[in-house]
């Protein structure tokens, strides 16, 4: 088994040579401007090492990866009552699909598809103005990454809002079933802004390290969530973190992961490390094409899998 630093360098070098990089997300205009040749990867180990290769210090739009952190916050606020409004099952449909909401009375299948994340945003709005809820989310992520330079990209947020017709449809539909407690416009304001948070692979891997360490920040020993909650968030990432490509990611990579249409993926190796990879080109399911391939290769090289003995 190679050293992790060597493995990251090998993966980054191989990805740099590939020409089949997928397609950037043009339906959000700001994301369509990103250079598809970019590639970064970072690992933060539970013993404190921060290892990087490629463009790992360049910020990108984390998009749906932010849903891991909003879920964590919402569970802290309302506990298991959250599951009365959002399910825990894979959807088997695209992330912005509306078809299941009618059959299932406005209850989204899970908190990582768009509809589910909008409900989570609605939960975080309780007792707050949108600006306050957005600030709470950003400060939480800054705290996890131990980095106050993490920001919201206002241009990306505006771009999402200007083109987010399906998300408006999802929110209004759930409101009609009584599963949004605030006006759709307010919940969507929170949603669009947390999806527009910009982070580098290094910052993202640092922010996710508590999930690899039984809910504790390994650098400080501070408990972010209980060990049980960390396991359950990891379970949601494994089964639902890549939308209708979640089963394939679990099959190929074998670790919990959460993707975003900005081309990032947060991966968790329980007890070992938090990983972040970024390659803007997406596959047919809206997940980073080279990011998925890179994590599959790295997991194989390091013999990482939650299914390994």
Strand 50-54 and strand 257-259: the pairing is: unpaired
Nearest alpha carbon to residue 72 among 107, 124, 114: 124
Angle between helix 114-124 and helix 165-176 axes, rounded to 10 deg: 70
* Structure tokens, 275: 């990983």
Is 167 one of the annotated binding-site residues?
Answer: yes
Catalytic hit among 119, 261, 269, 277: 261
According to DSSP, residue 51 is labeled: E
Q: Which helix (H) or strand (E) holds 265?
A: strand 264-269
The Cα angle at residue 275 between residues 244 and 153, in degrees rounded to 5: 75
Is 104 one of the annotated binding-site residues?
Answer: no
According to DSSP, residue 72 is labeled: H
Catalytic hit among 156, 159, 200, 243: 243
Is 258 marked active-site?
no
Q: Which residues contact 222 (CB under 8 A, 6 or more apart)?
A: 216
SS3 content of the chain, % helix, strand, coil (to 5): 50, 10, 40
**Gyration radius of the chain's alpha carbons:** 18
Is 191 marked active-site?
yes
* Structure tokens, 36: 């598809």
Q: Phi then psi for 206, rounded to 5 degrees?
A: -65, -40
144 touches 224 (CB < 8 A): yes
Is 279 one of the annotated binding-site residues?
Answer: no
Catalytic hit among 61, 64, 121, 159: 64
Is 64 one of the annotated binding-site residues?
Answer: yes
Is 272 one of the annotated binding-site residues?
Answer: no
Is 165 one of the annotated binding-site residues?
Answer: no
Is 17 one of the annotated binding-site residues?
Answer: no
Catalytic hit among 150, 191, 200, 277: 191
Is 243 marked active-site?
yes
Catalytic hit among 67, 175, 216, 289: 67
Is 261 marked active-site?
yes
Binding residues, as ranges, are 64, 114, 160, 167, 191, 243, 261
Binding residues for substrate, as ranges, are 64, 114, 160, 167, 191, 243, 261
Q: Which residues are identified as catalytic?
A: 64, 67, 191, 243, 261
């Amino acid at each position: 088994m190679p050293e992790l630093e060597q493995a990251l360098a090998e993966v980054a070098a191989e990805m740099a040579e590939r020409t089949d990089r997928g397609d950037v997300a043009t339906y959000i205009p700001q994301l369509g401007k990103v250079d598809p040749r970019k590639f970064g990867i970072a690992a933060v180990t539970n013993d404190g090492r921060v290892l990087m290769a490629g463009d790992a210090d360049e910020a990108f739009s984390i998009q749906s990866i932010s849903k891991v952190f909003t879920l964590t916050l919402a569970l802290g606020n309302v506990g298991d009552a959250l599951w009365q409004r959002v399910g825990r099952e894979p959807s088997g449909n695209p992330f912005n699909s509306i078809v299941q909401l009618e059959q299932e009375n406005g209850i989204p299948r899970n908190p990582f598809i768009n509809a589910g994340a909008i409900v989570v945003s609605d939960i975080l709005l309780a007792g707050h103005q949108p600006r306050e809820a957005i600030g709470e989310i950003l400060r939480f992520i800054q705290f996890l990454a131990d980095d106050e330079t993490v920001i919201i990209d206002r241009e990306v947020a505006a771009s999402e809002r200007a083109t987010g017709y399906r998300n408006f449809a999802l929110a209004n539909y759930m409101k009609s079933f009584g599963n949004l407690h605030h006006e759709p416009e307010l919940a969507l304001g929170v949603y669009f802004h947390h999806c527009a948070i910009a982070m580098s692979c290094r910052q993202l891997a640092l922010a996710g390290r508590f999930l690899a360490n039984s809910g504790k920040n390994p650098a400080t020993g501070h408990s972010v969530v209980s060990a049980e909650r960390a396991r359950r968030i990891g379970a949601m990432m494994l089964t639902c973190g890549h939308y209708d490509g979640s089963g394939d990611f679990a099959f190929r990579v074998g670790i919990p992961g959460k993707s975003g249409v900005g081309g990032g993926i947060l991966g968790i190796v329980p007890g070992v490390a938090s990983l972040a990879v970024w390659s803007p080109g997406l596959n047919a399911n809206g997940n980073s094409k080279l990011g998925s391939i890179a994590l599959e290769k790295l997991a194989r090289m390091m013999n990482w899998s939650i299914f390994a003995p």
